[in-house]
Amino acid sequence: MGKFQIKLQPKKYDAIIVGSGAGGGMATYVLANAGLKVCLIEAGPMFDPAKDSNQLKNPWESPRRGASTKFRPFGDFDGCYWGWEIDGEPYTQAEGTKWEWWRARMLGGRTNHWGRISLRFGPKDFKHKSIDGLGDDWPISYDDVKPYYDKIDKLLGVFGTNEGLVDAPDGIFLPPPKPRLHELFIKKSATNIGIPVIPSRMSILTKSINKDRGECFYCAQCGRSCKIYADFSSSSALIIPALRTGNVDLITDSMVREVLVDKEGLATGVSYVHKPDMQEYQVSGRTVILAASACESARLLLNSKSPQHPNGLANSSNVVGKYLHDSTGADMGGIIPELFDRKRYNEDGVGGMHVYTPWWLDNKKLDFPRGYHIEYGGGFGMPLYGFNWGIENLNGTYKIKGKQKEAGGYGASLKEDYRYFFGAHLGMAGRGEAIAREDSYCEIDPNVVDKYGIPVLRFHTTYTDYEINQAKHMKETFSEILHSMGAVITWGGDDNKENNYGLHAPGNIIHEAGTVRMGDDPKKSPLNKWAQAHECKNLFNVDGGMFVSQGDKNITWTILALSMRTSEYIVDQLKKNEI
């Protein structure tokens, strides 16, 4: 390493955007198309699904047959670089906390591998405190956001159906794919016991929407990212088109260290370390838009201390990092004997469920305050590492072609067993709303830095009965559905009070939000209703951090709508020289 110096980028931009996921990608797209000059800084490398996806690779093309690694925890072909741990970038936990933190490092971030589940918030999701007294209301309502949901439905594409459900609002949908066999089984039985099953809502193009993106060809590998851009990735649908405007300078492999401010306390730009040469750089902009993911953006603000902002940038409320919450999650799976030895056909479909269950009950009658939706899985999955692991738990329990066999075994008889059970499994997962609490938070660890010298986060999170009782209800519901379809539970059926009914650790569902929340009161929220910092009017945050609560809906679609709304506001304000 040579002499230490900080290199200043000569150009001054209209906006510096930190992070290229859903929020950052949308901000880049809107600003670039409005003619503004944008510098987009991404911590990870370039990634273009058209070139870099592992879509359509066969299992045997991976030496580990698609197994998970620390580099790709969702599997060797998965479209996300890094995950639960990143070499040289630790984080810490307070005693008694188990927070699992997912961090992607690539252009497009997690949107390359996400589940494409695209659910609007309903009107109640913005005003839960007014309903049950818990948490806080958003400073905006569904009516403020609806025009943007409509715009992104059209711009990005989402399939589904209009069902007239107030809490799962109608949208502008492409046609959904027909349910698969196990989904028809679920639909029939669940509906019979009063649980609705409707077409899922996923950001996958069953019909072409523009000349830049292809139409889905049903390989079920959205998680690998799509070579023809038929599913939503921030890279595919927003950043790569934005690059074509000529208004975007993209800096990859660069970790932003700090947001810089002037003596008035206004943001002037950011400093970052460029990983390939490990040199320090600074770049100037009229606005700074943070979209590094909820916790990373909070970290950045907390690490941006100055005489004007001694408690971290935009943090005299001391709220940055607080109200951290994730979706809840609990699951269960089983096997349907009626589906043993079934006829083979290509059952891939899209990369996820063709049907789902939106929250259907009244929480006033239950012992937990917020709802959850149910996601379903099953069918003929591609054989990958772990294929039919533990067959000794199955092949002695059921007769195979009329023969009772001894559990375990080997030989031609065993091969017959693997064929017999293929495609008879199914699973279901609940994704619910947790209560955002002030005492659930991340802060800067006073002792630890990462390999770039940036102080790391320390997490303090727990779940309460609000979430635990919800998980118990999920398990009871899954059990009912599985029994009603004649399925036998094979996993997830033994959870109980001792392990919080199998409730996943916070962070594990990878929908974290709340750390830089919006609100009308600057003493209780760092951002105003435009996701603009109360104390620094040219600073914005457009990732999950800005959420006050998250409904029982995966947050990506709302991140995109809110980021578009804020970005249009920024364009307006910049053009008027208000910021």
Partner 1 sequence: MDRRKSLKALALGTVSAGLLMDACKLADKKEADKTIVAKEDNSDNPTGINRMKEEMAHYKEETSYTFFTPEEMVTIAVLADIIIPKDDVSGSATDAKVPDFIEFIVKDMPEHQVPMRGGLKWLDLQSFNRYQNAFTDCSQQQQIEMVDAIAYPKKAKPEMQQGVSFFSLMRNLTATGFYTTEMGGKDVGYMGNQPNQWNGVPADVLKQYNLAYTDKELKECISFS
Interaction with partner 1 in 459-498: which residues (CB under 8 A)? Answer: none
C-beta of 235: minimal distance to partner 1 in Å?
A: 11
As measured in angstroms, the least distance from the Cβ of 415 to partner 1 is 6
Cβ neighbors of 243 (< 8 A, separation 6 or more) are 32, 250
Our CB check for partner 1 shows the closer of 6 and 412 to be: 412
> Is 223 an interacting residue with respect to partner 1 (CB under 8 A)?
no
What's the number of CA atoms in the CB half-sphere (13 Å) around residue 150? Answer: 6
User: Which alpha helices (H) appear in 225-326, and where do they start and end?
Assistant: 234, 240-243, 294-303
- CB of 206 vs partner 1, minimal distance in Å: 5
Q: Least distance (Å) from partner 1 to the CB of residue 74?
A: 14
Nearer to partner 1, 64 or 523 (CB): 64
Q: Directed axis angle between helix 181-192 and helix 465-484, to 10°?
A: 110
Residue 481 beta carbon to partner 1: minimum distance, rounded to whole angstroms: 17
Amino acid at 178: K
371 contacts 552 by C-beta, under 8 angstroms:
yes
From 253, 258, 326, 552, residue interacting with partner 1 (rule: CB under 8 A): 253
Comparing CB distances to partner 1, the nearer of 101 and 229 is 229
Which residue number, 187 or 431, has a Cβ lying nearer to partner 1? Answer: 187
Nearest to 281 by CA among 267, 268, 270, 266: 270
Determine the 3-state secondary structure of 40 from DSSP.
Answer: strand
* Calpha distance 200→374 (Å, rounded): 10
d(CA 51, CA 484): 45
Single out the segment in contact with partner 1 by CB under 8 A; choices: 23-31, 345-353, 475-483, 522-530: 345-353
Total binding residues toward partner 1, as defined by CB under 8 A:
106
Of residues 199-218, which lie at the interface with partner 1 (CB under 8 A)? 199, 206-208, 211-215, 217-218
Do 426 and 333 meet the contact criterion of CB atoms below 8 Å apart?
Answer: yes
> Which residue has 């990143």 as its token pair?
86
Q: Is 415 exposed, middle or buried (0-12, 13-18, 19+ CB in 10 A)?
A: exposed
Give the shortest CB-479-to-partner 1 separation in angstroms. Answer: 23
For the bound state, the minimum distance from the C-beta of residue 49 to partner 1, rounded and expressed in Å, comes to 8
**Strand runs labelled E in 147-222:** 198-199
Q: Which is nearer to partner 1, 415 or 575 (CB)?
A: 415
344-357: buried (b, 16+ CB within 10 Å) or exposed (e) per residue?
eeebebbbbbbbbb
Structure token pair of residue 201: 């809502």
Q: Which of residues 64-123 bind partner 1 (CB under 8 A)?
A: 64-67, 69, 71-72, 76-77, 81, 87
Pair 357, 197: CB distance under 8 Å: yes
Applying CB under 8 A, which of residues 89, 144, 249, 568 lies at the interface with partner 1? 249
Strand partners, 122: none
Report, in Å, the least distance between residue 253 CB and partner 1: 4
The nearer residue to partner 1, 123 or 377, going by C-beta atoms, is 377
Which amino acid is residue 544, in one-letter code?
G
Binding part of the chain for partner 1, among 121-129, 250-258, 286-294, 363-371 by CB under 8 A, reads: 250-258
Residue with tokens 């937990």: 368
Q: Which residues, 40 to 69, sit near partner 1 by CB under 8 A?
A: 45-46, 48, 50-67, 69
Q: Which amino acid is at 5?
A: Q
Q: How far is the CB of 226 from partner 1 (least distance, A)?
A: 9
Contacts with partner 1, 154-193, as mask; x by CB under 8 A: -----x-x------------xxxxxxxx--xx--x-----
Window 548 to 567, contacts with partner 1 (CB under 8 A): none
Cβ(305)–Cβ(311) below 8 Å:
yes
In the bound state with partner 1, the residue whose beta carbon lies nearer, of 66 and 115, is 66
Nearest to 363 by CA among 433, 274, 304: 433
Question: Which of 124/275 has CB closer to partner 1?
Answer: 275
Instruction: Name the residue with tokens 């040289």.
Output: 88
The CB-of-8 to partner 1 minimum distance in angstroms stands at: 14
Q: Which residues make beta-bridge pairs with 322? A: 441
- How far is the C-alpha of 397 from the C-alpha of 351, rounded, in Å? 31
Residue 279 Cβ vs partner 1, minimum distance, rounded to whole Å: 12
Binding to partner 1 by CB under 8 A, coded x per residue (else -) over 501-540, reads: ----------------------------------------
Q: Give the footprint of partner 1 on residues 322-341 (CB under 8 A).
A: 338
Q: Which of residues 274-313 bind partner 1 (CB under 8 A)?
A: 274-276
Q: What is the largest CA-CA distance in the chain?
A: 82
Which parts of 371-430 interact with partner 1 (CB under 8 A)?
A: 380, 382-392, 396, 406-412, 414-415, 418-419, 422
